[in-house]
Amino acid sequence: MTRTHVVALGGSLLRPEEAEKRRQWLGQLRQLIVHVEGNGGKLGIVVGGGLPAREGIELAKNIISDSDKLDEVGIAATRLNATVLQQIFLDIGCDVAPSIPSTTEEASSLISKHSIVVMGGTTPGHTTDAVAIALARDCGARNCIIATNVDYVYDKDPRKYEEAKPMFDISIDELAEITGTEPLLPGQSAVVDPVAVGWAKSASIDIAVLDGRDISLLDSALEGKEFSGTLIRSV
């Protein structure tokens, strides 16, 4: 049976500071996709909103404060980023779904017909981390990779605490203690969205958090090889 992988790709990964790094990262990601497809694998990619989401939400916040409306602005940005990747993969003839699904059920059905499906956010109240967990659940994957811009989950925020320690192998309950369980505000970030943590626990989905700036880590995790990052066990 073909294995389906699901990856949440943090939106910040698409735009490294230096323009040359952007081209390099997108090129390496594209190679990885070709490789997955060549090996007969299936991949659902859920892309975050990154800079356009933050900018759009900040702009709208001048006038509106309703969090669902601000979330809709964020969702539009995730779909923009998803379209960028979808077109980049289509350009080299990959078997990518021609539409950007707006629900995980739709994405799951598209994955049965195509090698690659790229999507962004769905509904207000959570981030694309949670969407990736829901997609993993809906397409029968037992785990979900969260590729972000940090190397590990730390026991406390490493930007604030020098003594923060990286965690290598933890349970979903330990992760919930670190992230808390309160939903994030529109545009707010956390190493893993607390809503995603709750959904992963309910659906018994294991999570791998790794540094997506290094595509070789993503490659290793997809191949089932050892990778540097944090493994979070739900069962």
For the chain, the straight-line distance linking the first and the last C-alpha, in angstroms and rounded, comes to: 23
Work out whether 121 is an interface residue with ligand UTP (CB under 6 A): yes
Least distance (Å) between residue 3 CB and ligand UTP = 25
Least distance (Å) between residue 69 CB and ligand UTP = 10
> Is 212 within 8 Å of 229 (Cβ atoms)?
no
Measured distance CA(34)–CA(192) in Å, rounded: 28
| Binding piece for ligand UTP, criterion CB under 6 A, among 49-57, 83-91, 106-114, 220-228 | 49-57
Least distance (Å) between residue 99 CB and ligand UTP = 17
Beta strands 206-211 and 153-154 are unpaired
Token pair, residue 210, equals: 């790794």
Report the alpha-carbon angle 215-13-21, nearest 5. 70
Token pair, residue 37, equals: 């497809």
> Is 230 within 8 Å of 167 (Cβ atoms)?
yes
Residue nearest to ligand UTP (CB): 74
| Binding piece for ligand UTP, criterion CB under 6 A, among 34-42, 88-96, 126-134, 166-174 | 126-134
The three-class DSSP label of residue 10 is: coil
| Binding piece for ligand UTP, criterion CB under 6 A, among 69-77, 90-98, 173-181, 199-207 | 69-77
Which CB, 106 or 223, lies closer to ligand UTP? 106
Q: Which residues bind ligand UTP (CB under 6 A)?
A: 10-12, 48-50, 53, 71, 74-75, 78, 121-129, 131, 148, 186-187, 189, 193
